[in-house]
Amino acid sequence: MSASSVDPLQRIAELPGVGEAVEQARDVVDRLLGHRVLRRRSSDVSMESALRGARASALLEGADAAVETLEHVRSGASEDPRVKGALRVSGELGTLTETWPKAPHQVLARLHTLAAADGVPAERLGRPRAQEESADDPLGIGTAPTTAEVAARLRALNRLLSTRSSVPALVVGAVVHGELAALRPFGWGDGIIARAAERLTLIERGLDPKSLVPSELGHEELRDEYGPALRGYLTATPEGVGAWVVYCCRAVEAGARDSLATCEALKRG
């Protein structure tokens, strides 16, 4: 996360391939935002996006795809704590948009409380994991950082989010996602939180103001690339970080295409 004193993310935005990936994803998002169905049915598309994104995030966290079908999730029949948590997170993102750049730590604690309400004891909700506590690793990225490293990097992330930037929202969202997925600050539900934080960043920074893009679904579609891309980010090399941002742009693009398909289905009636 090092960069110039003017903008700490500018070097990342200028890495090879990043600019092209950003433009390609933004073009698809813009096509979605301009779809005529949204003049009348924007809330319907947003609700479908929230549902599909929540299911995808829960599957990435280990929920059983054979059981947690979209209709099963839609009906509220799931008892899987990851599905229930992802749905709560998705349902409350809109209320957290204004607070996100002002008090990121507060929002992350709230996201964990929502995500983990059925997964951990009440006294652990919203609290960073202690050094002796393990961290789930559904993506197979290895041992979680120490709590001291987590605290330091969360402070850096807090500064990053509280600073307005000319860097594209897609780049900021990718770094937010990468940091939280790497740090696993809470130990349970961290993937759900990281993906929600990326989406929240895209909403708050104006790329997707109506929360129409299920970026989580894009990550689920590209799940075979997800873990390797994140491990590349962990190397902190220009190649690894650049490839991670490109990967995240592709996931957002896939999510936007899914919502375009929803718009087309609504247009056909």
CA-based torsion, 67, 187, 229, 201: positive or negative: positive
Q: Is residue 183 within 8 Å of 145, Cβ to Cβ?
A: yes
pLDDT in tens, 116-129: 999 999 999 999 99
Angle between helices 104-115 and 81-96 (to 10 degrees): 150
**pLDDT value at position 65?**
85
The ranges of the chain with pLDDT < 70 are 1-6
Two structure tokens written together for 34: 């301009």
Distance CA 242, CA 248 (A): 10
Q: Looking up tokens 């592709």, which residue turns up? A: 250
Q: Which domains occur in the chain, in start order?
A: 9-268 (1.10.3290.10)
Q: Is residue 9 within 8 Å of 171, Cβ to Cβ?
A: yes
Among residues 198, 265, 209, 252, which one has the least CA distance to residue 33?
209
Q: Calculate ∠ Cα 19-20-22, nearest 5°.
A: 65
- φ, ψ of residue 9 to 5 degrees: the values are -110, 0
4-34 per-residue burial string, b: 16 or more CB within 10 A, e: under 16 = eeeebbebbbebeebeebbeebbebbeebbe
**pLDDT value at position 49?**
97
**pLDDT value at position 211?**
97
**pLDDT value at position 6?**
55
179-190 per-residue burial string, b: 16 or more CB within 10 A, e: under 16 = bbbbbbbbbbbb
**pLDDT value at position 256?**
98
**pLDDT value at position 70?**
87
**pLDDT value at position 51?**
96
